[in-house]
Amino acid sequence: MSARGFTTAILHSDRSKPIEHGSLHKPVHNSVAFGYADARDLARVFQGELPGYAYGRQGTPTTSALEDKITTMEQGIATVSFATGMGAIASTMMALLRASDHVVSSSFVFGNTNSLLGTFEQLGIAVSFVDATDVACVAQALRPETRMVFVETIANPRTQVADLAGIGELCRARDIVYVVDNTLTSPYLFLPKRVDASLIVNALTKCIGGHGNALGGAVTDCGLYDWSKYPNIHDSYKKGDASRWAALQIRKKGLRDVGATLAPEAAHHLAVGAETLALRMDRICANALKLAQYLEAHPRVRRVYYPGLESHPQHERAKALFRGAGGLMAFELADGIDCFEFLNRLQIVVSSSNLADNRTLAIPVAHTIYFEMGAERRASMGIADSLIRVSTGIEDEEDLTADFRQALG
Ligand SMILES: *Cc1c(COP(=O)(O)O)cnc(C)c1O
C-alpha cells in the first residue's frame, strides 16, 4: 500500500478510508443486513456495480477493514476473511477445485488440513502427499491435471521447512496455483509473495490475533497468478482484471456456499491484536531461540526440533527466508521420563493446544492432536510418543527457562 514500515502501516490502515465519527478503531458493525434508501442501489450492490454490503455472510465493514490490513501486511491485492483458518482453507479449495482435479500437498501439514484433504479425496479430488522439503519430490508428483500445490512455511509440529523458493519456481513455470500457509511464520517473519506464492493462507487465530481470544482465518491473493489460465473460474466472476477473479470467486462462492464467515466482534479483536504483531513476534522468536538452545544442551532432552538451531536440517534455508525462526518447537524427552509428569511439573507453561498465544503453551503431540491418526502413521511422520510441542509466548525469558529447568529436575 505504501512505503511505510510494517507496524506503522497496520496502525494507520483504518484511516486510509473515511473515518466514522473520528473513531481510531474501525467500529464493530454487528448488523446482519444493510439497507438502502434507493432500492436500485441494493440491486447494484448485488450485481457488483456499486461497492457496498448486502448480507453479513458475505462480509461487513469490520471484516473489510481487517482484510485491508492483511492485504497490506502480505503485500497482496485482495484478502477474504473467514471464521477460522480451517474455514479459509476449506472454502478456498471448495471454490477453486473440481472433481478429478489433482492437488499436491506437503505430507507435513497441520493435522486438520490433512483431514480436510482426505475429505476432498472422498469427493473425487486426487491428492498426493510428498516431502515438500525437496522440490524434486513435488516435481515428480505433478500430473497434467494438477491444479494446486499446498505447503506450510514451517510445519507443525516437527518444524520442517518446505523448499518454498524451489516450489515457487516450479509452480510458476508450470502455471500451477501455489498456496502457502503462512500461519507459523506470519507476514512479519516471511512474505510468501517473495517465493511466487499465488495464494497465502493465515490462521488469524495464531500469530496475527496473538492473544488467544478470537478465531479467524484469511486467504490473500498475491496478484502473481494469471487466473485467465485457470480452468475453474466461473464466467460470472471473469470481470475486469484477471488477477482478481479468484478472490472474487472465493468471496462469492466460498463465503456463500460454506458460510464460514468471520464475526465482526472477532474481526475487531484480531485487528487490535495485529497492531502488535511485529513486537510480539520479535519477543516470541527471541524466547524460542533461547529456550531451544537451553533444551538442546540439557541431558534429559533427547532431541530438539527448531529451525533456529544450527542442528536443524533446514536451518540455512530458514535463515535465508525468515526474519526469525518463529515460536514453535518440538522436543523429545530422554527415555524413562513420563511426558505427563513433566508437563504437570511446569508452573508457568500451560498444557494446552493453540499456537502463538502470548502465553507459552505445551502439548504432548502423540496423545492429543496426533492421537486419532494412530501409531503407524505417527511413526511414519516421525512423531515420537514423548514428543512435546512448545509454542513460546512473550513471558520474561528467565522465567521460562527457570520453569523448564525445575520441571526437568
Ligand atoms: C491452526 C492452524 C490452522 C487452522 O486454523 P484454525 O483457526 O484453528 O482453524 C491452519 N494451518 C495451520 C498451520 C495452523 O497452525
Fold (topology level) of 6-274: Aspartate Aminotransferase; domain 2 (3.40.640)
Ligand 1 and 251: CB distance under 6 A: no
170 vs 20, residue with greater confidence: 170
Ordered DSSP codes for 32-75: SB---SSHHHHHHHHTTSS---SBGGG--HHHHHHHHHHHHHHT
How far, CA to CA in Å, does 161 sit from each of 181, 321, 326, 358? 12, 10, 11, 23
- Report, as an integer, the average pLDDT of 253-260: 95
Bridge partners of 220, per DSSP, are 79, 200
For ligand 1, is residue 86 a contact (CB within 6 Å)? Answer: yes
Atom 1 of ligand 1, nearest CA residue:
203
C-alpha distances in Å from residue 208, one per residue of 196, 270, 277, 381, 397: 22, 7, 6, 28, 21
| Angle at the Cα of 120 from the Cα atoms of 381 and 258, rounded to 5 degrees | 120
| d(CA 297, ligand 1 centre) in Å | 31
| Ligand 1 neighbourhood includes 110 CB (under 6 angstroms) | yes
**So what's the pLDDT on residue 91?**
98
DSSP per-residue string spanning 313-336: TTHHHHHHH-SS--SEEEEEEPTT
Instruction: Give the DSSP H/E element, type plus range, for residue 152.
Output: strand 146-152
Expressed in angstroms and rounded, the spacing between residue 351 Cα and the centre of ligand 1 is: 18
Percent of the chain with pLDDT over 70: 100
Residues in the chain: 409
Q: Judge contact between 339 and 364, C-beta under 8 A.
A: yes
288 Cα to the center of ligand 1, angstroms: 20
Break the chain into its structural domains and give their ranges: 6-274, 278-408
Q: For residues 357 and 347, what is the distance between their CA atoms, to the nearest angstrom?
A: 17
Contact 383, 158 (CB under 8 A): yes
Query: Distance between CA atoms of 198 and 331, rounded to whole angstroms?
Result: 33
CATH 1.20.20.10 is held by the domain 278-408: no
- In the reported structure, the alpha carbon of residue 46 is separated from the centroid of ligand 1 by a whole-number distance in angstroms of 32
Q: Residue for cell digits 508452573?
A: 347
- Relative to beta strand 328-333, strand 126-130 is unpaired
Nearest CA to ligand 1 atom 8: 85
DSSP symbol at 349: S
What's the pLDDT score for residue 189?
A: 98
Helix (H, G, I), strand (E, B) or coil at 264: helix
Q: What is the pLDDT of residues 327-348, one digit of tens each?
A: 999 999 999 899 999 999 999 9
Pocket residue to mutate for ligand 1, from 81, 91, 183, most atoms within 8 A of Cβ = 183
State pLDDT tens for residues 41-98: 999 999 989 999 999 999 999 999 999 999 999 999 999 999 999 999 999 999 999 9
In 3-state terms, what secondary structure has residue 192?
Answer: helix
Average pLDDT over residues 277-286: 98
From 205, 261, 355, the mutation candidate for ligand 1 (largest count of ligand atoms within 8 A of CB) is: 205
Cell matching residue 168: 515457487
> Mean pLDDT over residues 228-242, rounded?
95
Q: What is the mean pLDDT of residues 23-43?
A: 95
User: What would the pLDDT profile of 115-128 be if each residue is shown by its tens digit?
Assistant: 999 999 999 999 99
Residue bearing cell 478510508: 17
In the chain, the N- to C-terminal Cα span, in Å, equals: 51
Rounded to whole angstroms, how far apart are CA atoms 357 and 89?
21
355 pocket-lining for ligand 1 (C-beta < 6 Å): yes
pLDDT > 90? residue 381 = no
All 3 cell numbers of residue 395?
Answer: 513471558
Cell of 324: 526469525
| Res 1 pLDDT > 70 | no
Buried residues in 213-230 as b, exposed as e (16+ CB within 10 A): ebbbbbbbbbbbbebeeb
Measured between alpha carbons, how far is 401 from 305 in angstroms, rounded to an integer?
17
Residue with the smallest CA separation from ligand 1 atom 4 is 85
CA of 399 to the centre of ligand 1 (A): 28
| Contacts of 395 by beta carbon, 8 Å cutoff, 6+ apart | 287, 348, 359, 360
User: Does the pTM exceed 0.85?
Assistant: yes
CA of 63 to the centre of ligand 1 (A): 19
* pLDDT at 19 (0 to 100): 81
Tens digit of pLDDT for each residue in 282-310?
A: 999 999 999 999 999 999 999 999 999 99
CB 262 within 8 A of CB 65: no
SS3 352: coil
